[in-house]
Amino acid sequence: MTPDQRRRIETATGAAIISSTPLHGGSIAAVYRLDLANGASFVAKSSARPAGFEVEGYMLDYLRAASSLPLPEVLLAEDDLLLMQYIEAGDALDPQAETHAADLLATLHAVQGPAFGHERDTLIGPLPQPNPWTESWRDFFRDHRLLAMGRVAHDTGHLPADAFRALETLCGRLDRIVPADSTPSLIHGDMWGGNVLCRRGRIAGFIDPAIYHADAEIELAFATLFGTFGDIFFRRYADHRPIDPAFFRERRDLYNLYPLLVHTALFGGSYANSAARTIQRFL
């Protein structure tokens, strides 16, 4: 963290920083817990160059205004610096917390938009998410998720040309699997375990959103990709919002192609192989 960033934090909080502790999650940006002279604690994400933190702050503020999710309050959101409320957490995602998560996400997914997309483009991690308002879910998922992120992954050199061509072929055949019409629900957008903070059997907070309005199934799919939630979550969620059995049979793995392409663009390696296998499965 630079001296200028420290100065901006102390100006925003009105107190001096007395300690700074690195936190996990710093693979893309440096993340710190800051303890201040007035007894308050905050989390700061900082970068030596513009890193899109203004967008992350916007997404957190949007979710706070539009939903009842527990989220950190944002004090400062600039391109190179994000300052947020520190949330006491660190407990395991136990059955009680999974049940609470299902209640919260079902309520979030009941928040509807005018179409698929969002009022502005957002980010998933450091990568762009184009969000033009689109009437058809199938068209939005094809053009602004699979093809858009597939191009990013290909341009990084992590997704081979033959896999990208296969992706283009798959995108011409989505009418077999993906409905054109569904409800545009507000989603968190990056539902893996590291973004779910737990405390004593409750969800203390959600962090690092990648919001837009989508078929809520894509959020449910992402929650299975890295084993974030299991049967307890899905049973409780279904009490609020029925889940089509076809989601588990086929659409879950297709929707998870998007986060696989995100990870391919960022990291390559085994993620590119997993993305290529998923593409071939649905051809």
- CA 214 – CA 188 distance, rounded (Å): 10
**Backbone φ and ψ of 21, nearest 5°:** -120, 120
Name, in order, each residue with C-beta under 8 angstroms of 270's C-beta and a sequence gap of 6 or more.
Answer: none
Q: Is residue 156 located within the same domain as residue 243?
A: yes
pTM of the entire structure?
Answer: 0.95
* Domain hosting residue 68, numbered range: 3-85
**Does 16 fall in a domain?**
yes
100-119 pLDDT per residue, tens:
999 999 999 999 999 999 99
Is the per-residue pLDDT at 164 higher than 90? yes
Domain total for the chain?
Answer: 2
Which of 16-30, 94-108, 141-155 bottoms out in mean pLDDT, i.e. has the lowest? 16-30
**Does 168 fall in a domain?**
yes
CA dihedral angle for residue 104, residue 109, residue 112, residue 115, rounded to 10 degrees: 150
**Can you give the pLDDT at residue 25?**
63
Identified catalytic residue from 80, 181, 190, 215 = 190
Residues in the chain: 283
Q: Is residue 66 located within the same domain as residue 126?
A: no
Query: What beta strand segments (E) does the chain contain?
Result: 17-22, 30-36, 41-46, 74-78, 81-85, 122-124, 127-129, 185-187, 196-199, 202-206, 212-214
**Does 142 fall in a domain?**
yes
Of 57, 85, 113, the position where a domain reaches its end is 85
221-241 pLDDT per residue, tens:
999 999 999 999 999 999 999
Whether 103 is catalytic: no
Reported as a pLDDT band with limits 50, 70 and 90, residue 50 is confident
CB count within 10 Å of CB 102 equals 23
**Does 90 fall in a domain?**
no
Q: Is residue 233 located within the same domain as residue 266?
A: yes
CB count within 10 Å of CB 171 equals 18
